[in-house]
Amino acid sequence: MPHSVHPIDRMLLQNKAWAFERVQSDPSFFKRLSSTQKPEVLWIGCSDSRVPANEITNTGPGEIFVHRNVANLVRPGDVNSSSVLEYAIGMVKVRSVVVVGHRGCGGIRASMASFDGLPATLADWLGSIREVYAKNAAELDALPEGDARENALLGHVVRTQVENLAKMDVVKRHWAERQAPSLHGMVYSTADGRLVELCRVLPSATAPVAAAS
């Protein structure tokens, strides 16, 4: 019997059980959540199924605003992540933005392999990881192939996304207006479930307000 259950049917059934249990333990749960959302954190993570934002931070619905894509990239000119940032920083007014990379990331790994046969959109997306590699090639090439090199690249990729964030107009505008959000780069280890902070950029009140670069 379990083999014949379609994954989507199982998902709908699990959802029914979850909603029922939530109301059992907290009757006003959905009423409270429906009225407003005031998360303090915007999470930019990888689409990887092993890195669920709420679960690994022990948070629930309403606590984290989430954007996920392949290899947790914040690319200048990407309408998707840009609109998430405008909304989360400008309207929801989150206090912090975290970019979360993870060990064993398929996107990082694929960027280091041949792009032959890779769909063009994916090659384009992963191309920006290659640019990060190229900028740090001297250091990365000197490392042994495998985990050491991959983890070092991952660190550089995460830091680069935080640097990209710091250059965005919406970030600079809100730094000047309300001294937020703080920016954080983190790496999650699928081996032990731990999240480690790599870098932190605090709002600089002196940042030029409208210096579009």
DSSP for the chain?
A: -GGGS-HHHHHHHHHHHHHHHHHHH-TTHHHHHHH----SEEEEEE--TT--HHHHTT--TTSEEEEEETT----TT-HHHHHHHIIIIIIS--SEEEEEEETT-HHHHHHTS--TT--HHHHHHHHHHHHHHHHTHHHHHTSPTTHHHHHHHHHHHHHHHHHHHHT-HHHHHHHHHHS--EEEEEEE-TTT--EEEEEEE---TTS-SS---
CB closer to Co ion out of 46 and 53: 46
Contact between 150 and Co ion (CB under 5 A)?
no
Tell me how many residues contact Co ion (CB under 5 A): 4
From the CB of 105, what's the least distance to Co ion, in Å? 3
CB closer to Co ion out of 129 and 140: 129
Based on the residue annotation, tell me whether 10 is a catalytic residue of this protein: no
The binding track of 59-98 with respect to Co ion, each residue x by CB under 5 A or -, is ----------------------------------------
Catalytic one of 3, 26, 48, 68: 48
* Of the residues 42, 44, 46, 158, which one makes contact with Co ion according to CB under 5 A: 46
From the CB of 188, what's the least distance to Co ion, in Å? 10
In the window 98-117, what residues touch Co ion (CB under 5 A)? 105, 107
CB closer to Co ion out of 147 and 177: 147
* Of the residues 45, 48, 171, 188, which one makes contact with Co ion according to CB under 5 A: 48
Based on the residue annotation, tell me whether 199 is a catalytic residue of this protein: no
Based on the residue annotation, tell me whether 102 is a catalytic residue of this protein: yes
Q: Which residues are marked as active site?
A: 46, 48, 50, 102, 105
Binding site for Co ion (CB under 5 A): 46, 48, 105, 107
